[in-house]
Amino acid sequence: MKQVLVLGGSGFVGGHVCEKLVRAGYRVSVTTRKAVHARCVMHLPGLTVLECNIHDEAALARAMVGMHGVINLVAILHGSPPAFVHVHQDLPAKIARACVRSGVRHVVHISALGVDSAQPQAAPSNYLRSKALGEKLLADLLGWEHGGKGSCGLTVLRPSVIFGANDKFLNVFARLQAIFPVMPLAGADARFQPVWVQDVASAVISSLAHGLGQAPAVRVYELAGPQVYTLRQLVQFAARSSGIRQGLGRPVIGLPLWMGRIQAFVLGMMPGEPVMSQDNLDSMRLDNVAAGGLPGLEALGIEASSLEAIGPQYLFPKPASQGLLGVRNRHR
Ligand SMILES: NC(=O)c1ccc[n+]([C@@H]2O[C@H](COP(=O)([O-])OP(=O)(O)OC[C@H]3O[C@@H](n4cnc5c(N)ncnc54)[C@H](OP(=O)(O)O)[C@@H]3O)[C@@H](O)[C@H]2O)c1
């Protein structure tokens, strides 16, 4: 039985990836900073949760002993510039060195659409720049620098924004519209090509299977859904699907960049994860749309599912008793 180590397997995409891996017959280990974070996957048959510090290279190499493949889903969306370097650059470098030391045969690394590892410094945000440098470090340290031939293969997957039950994207837009009478929105015209979380998870499994079954190589894919939307359209879609104001939603007021920056500053001062940060605004200066020069889901044998088909299955109108959403619904 093939053994796989999943870094970040406790997250939104990780849960779906782990479930598919178990179904496909892999023996799966998931690292986490705190075992309770991995509640959503720990019940899966044959899955082991390892509470460990993956930033400690020796601990990481120990976790990789006996593993055929490694999947890296660890990332942050908000943080200081050093935090982005720590998670998106230093960690991939450690993963690469540990994989070589431990004899891992294939790594699947989840990056992001808009990343260009050939020109990392051209990226408009800390998120995209650090992701680009991380991709490059991973490939170089696995032995693929300057046309070299590494012993461990690498698949890089670059998804657009990912939707699905429990996403922190359309669900958040739906919840905000249930509470506030208008939606002031920075980057309203930024374009995205949302991809379903199950399609991303299938792409991970397919990449791993190909990688373990073939001679080591580096492959890069763009993962995008069948249709392009502006952020404004996505906010309106979330309202329609979740029945906000009988599906009409709230008026969306596009903010100019300078106002968006003030909004992001204020949101950043509030406790918890910000809905929008300065760095997110910088990322949105690039369209989050497949450039088309790289293979996509179809090359992995996956037909991309549409937002129209999937969204309403989890963004349905919530009963009036559900938390803040319910409070607002009761007053509509
Ligand atoms: N969601 C999207 O729309 C989207 C779009 C494009 C690309 N992606 C990429 O897809 C991948 C998975 O995203 P996701 O949405 O599933 O992310 P997520 O839900 O935030 O999960 C990320 C996981 O990384 C771990 N993690 C976070 N910070 C860490 C740190 N400092 N040190 C160690 N572990 C840390 C966490 O595990 P523990 O808390 O258990 O340690 C968490 O479960 C990421 O590479 C992301 O950039 C996502």
Looking at residue 328, its pLDDT comes to 44
How many whole angstroms separate alpha carbon 237 and alpha carbon 309? Answer: 12
The ranges assigned to domains in the chain are: 3-163+194-223, 170-191+226-288+301-330
Who wins on pLDDT, 270 or 141? 141
Looking at residue 322, its pLDDT comes to 52
Instruction: Please write the tens of the pLDDT for every residue from 268-306.
Output: 888 888 888 999 999 999 999 999 999 999 999 999 999
Q: Which residues line ligand 1 (CB under 6 A)?
A: 8, 10-14, 32-33, 37-38, 54, 73-76, 87, 110, 112, 159, 161-162, 169
Q: For residue 204, is pLDDT > 50? A: yes
Looking at residue 227, its pLDDT comes to 98
Who wins on pLDDT, 67 or 319? 67
Please give the angle made by the CA atoms of 246, 251 and 253, to the nearest 5 degrees.
160
Neighbours of 150 (CB within 10 A): 20
Q: For residue 170, is pLDDT > 90? A: yes
Q: Which atom of ligand 1 is nearest to the CA of 54?
A: 33
Q: How far is the CA of 179 from the centre of ligand 1 (A)?
A: 27
Q: Which atom of ligand 1 is nearest to the CA of 169?
A: 3
Length reported for the chain: 332
Report which secondary-structure segment, H or E, holds 200.
Answer: helix 197-213
Instruction: Please write the tens of the pLDDT for every residue from 25-72.
Output: 999 999 999 999 999 999 999 999 999 999 999 999 999 999 999 999
pLDDT category of residue 267 using cuts at 50, 70 and 90: confident
Q: For residue 320, is pLDDT > 80? A: no
For domain 3-163+194-223, the question of CATH label 3.40.50.720 is answered with yes
Looking at residue 268, its pLDDT comes to 82
